[in-house]
Chains A and B, each alone.
Chain A
Amino acid sequence: MDEKTRDDLLQLFRSKFNRAMRFYLESCTRCGTCTDACHVYASTGQTKYIAAYRHELIRRLYKRYFKARGHLWPSLGEARELTDATIEELYEAAYSCTGCRRCMVYCPFGIDTQMLMSIAKLLLIGKGAEPEILTLLADTSIEKGKSMELFKEGFLTGIKRLEAEVVKQWQTEAGEAAIPVDVEGADLLYVALAGAHSIIPAAAVFNAAGEKWTLSFFEAVNFGAFVGDPSKTKLILDRIVNEAKRLKVKEVCVCECGTAYRVMKYLSGSQPFKVTSITEAHARYLKEGRIRLDKTKFPGPITYHDPCQIARNAGVIDEARYIIGHLTDDFREMTTDARYNWCCGGGGGLVALGDETLDFRMKSSRVKVDQVKATGATILSTACENCHTQLSNLNDHYKMEVDVQFLSSMVARALVPA
């Protein structure tokens, strides 16, 4: 690696500094309490997957380039040069970490591994060594934000097709407006994913609840966050913030996508609208009696996988239980304490990388499979696209023989017609 590249990378490193990051960089005692926290380590037993081992890689660079110690006595903290070999190690550490933050629950200081890995991800981008596909997808999202008019036509045609679907399945009265788009003054802006499964059931529930809603032009998923690019994350987010402001909605409701929800909730700043997840919206409709569910629709025990970015990292926990309470009398918890739920193993962009990471995802998530099996449930529900894909893959690979379902779809299917 030449001098210039290294300087540029260190500049990127520095750009990640803030108070919390400095805390995390300064204080690990390497006590090993976090050892058993990571599902990758728990499933594979390989030291390089221990949370503290991962962030010590970052810390070694920090000691070398940002502390006097690294010059005076580098071996003291095993300070390391930034080289091509280091970059490879960073890749291994960052793209085997799902950013679930389960280790943060274990650490006596609460060191945030996801945050430290974001330095690794940014250095990888700087070096052009990140997974290209994620950058590509992020750029596509941003492009779409810039030239919305170009996409509008195709989008609206697609929606028309889906509307027919909604009407057919739920016999909605308001045939044409089954999926309202671009409605100024609507109460709620729903940000979905590309794909009928994320739009059709949601539409059915909104309509049943009599919500004044409108569908966003944009997909919720934030590839900028997966690849760890702060400016792209922000650009992708801003598309939706701007749309919400333009339509003057009171609420932005994010579909079942953990990362999108967390980014939207915590990064959008103070805005005239509130941010909710679709799980929260559904729980609210139930509470207010705006929708009713048929408990006989899903026979058999149901368990629920808390998506890390929605539960542990954004606080939507009880709402899911409340909804499931209306779907079954036989709910099986995976853990007694939501903070300790195992990650599905698909976060941090791993699922988005598809087949490339499939083998790793299966090996690294054995503990999740054991946890699901122990519940004895036949339906495995969840509220995140990534988790759903990963759990379905696990279901096939480990022959778990459960039915993997989106919670929102279950709500839609169990709707009792008014």
Chain B
Amino acid sequence: MQTVYYIILVPMVYLAFGVFIVGIIARIAKIWREPPNPTPLLIHPVKKPGWLWTLTDTFLFPTVRRHKPVLWVFLMAFHICLLLLLIGHLELLADFALFQVIPHEIFLGNGFVGLILAICLLYFLFRRFVSPVKDLSVPEDYYLLILLFLVVIFGSEMDWARSWYEYGEMTVEDYRSYLLSLLVFKPELPYSTTFSGHSFMLILHVFFANLFLMFFPFSQLMHAILSLPMNKLRRG
């Protein structure tokens, strides 16, 4: 069993990040090598300055707010929490003075970030079982949501256990030494991460996260990166 744990926590993490980064770069490079469209693809009337409206479109989804307000609330909550999550994970690596401008404990959000994400994901998932979104969806969309839900739920579990039930065997210090060891390519697994009662949470969290990262460059999730240039085309 410990071998499996090791494979998931060390080589697979490297592999996942490798696929994620190389995959994204390769996909983007392939797209950017294509010639630009011969004509402008603007929607009129054009509002100035175009770049500002492009940013608004990309980060605030105004069209969704207008046409699908409920979805918009969940989307905003989801994407904001995603950002907080990213910060949270960075803080597991080291202290960043920048993020501590608003002082908080690590992990950020006291368990609620994960909770909100999980709720949003359930909403996204269940709306895909109702027509007409059901008729538009393909299996990929469901798998992605389920996968992400699994990542989130096991990740949150660790946070909830620590923040809400004072489970103290796996600490931020443990995670930090594990992650830092990965970062400097001298992987080391602290005893508690693989031998305590909640170890399997970490293993599953990392396992599903690895899968998610490896799938990212080849899925519709590329919208995260392509949204900006696409909105630029529309706004000019």
A interface residues with partner B (beta carbon < 8 Å) = 17-24, 26-33, 35-37, 47, 50, 52-53, 56, 67-69, 75-78, 101, 104-112, 115, 266-267, 311-315, 317-318, 338-339
Contact = CB atoms under 8 A, between A and B. Distances in A.
B44 A314 contact: yes
26 contacts: A18-B34, A18-B35, A19-B32, A19-B37, A20-B41, A22-B34, A26-B31, A26-B220, A27-B230, A28-B223, A29-B220, A30-B138, A35-B133, A47-B131, A52-B136, A78-B138, A104-B43, A108-B57, A110-B230, A115-B37, A312-B44, A313-B43, A313-B44, A315-B45, A338-B44, A339-B43
Nearest to A45: B132
Contacts of B136: 30, 32, 47, 50, 52-53, 56
B44 A315 contact: yes
A289 B136 CA distance: 54
Given A31-B133, A33-B63, A110 B31 contact: no
A314 B46 CA distance: 10
A30 B131 CA distance: 12
Contacts of B38: 18, 267
B67 to A, nearest CB: 5
Interface string B200-221: 0000000000000000001010
Nearest to A262: B39
Interface of B: 27, 30-32, 34-46, 57, 61, 63-64, 67-68, 71, 127, 131-133, 135-141, 143, 218, 220, 222-223, 226-227, 229-231, 233-235
A106 B67 contact: yes
B228 to A, nearest CB: 9
A75 B131 CA distance: 20
A110 B231 contact: yes
Contacts of B41: 20, 110, 112, 115
A173 B35 CA distance: 53
Contacts, number: 149
B64 A23 contact: no
A30 B141 contact: yes
A21 B37 contact: yes
A274 B142 CA distance: 50
A34 to B, nearest CB: 8
10 A-B pairs with least C-beta separation:
A110-B234, A315-B44, A266-B39, A32-B133, A20-B37, A27-B223, A30-B136, A22-B31, A78-B138, A47-B135
Contact of B44 (A17, A21, A53, A317): A317
A77 B138 contact: yes
Contacts of B227: 27, 108-109
Contact of A105 (B34, B43, B68, B223): B43
A156 B85 CA distance: 73
A20 B133 contact: no
Contacts of B42: 313, 315
A47 B36 CA distance: 32
Contacts of B234: 104, 110
B77 to A, nearest CB: 15
Given A19-B35, A69-B218, A317-B44, A33 B71 contact: yes
A109 B223 contact: yes
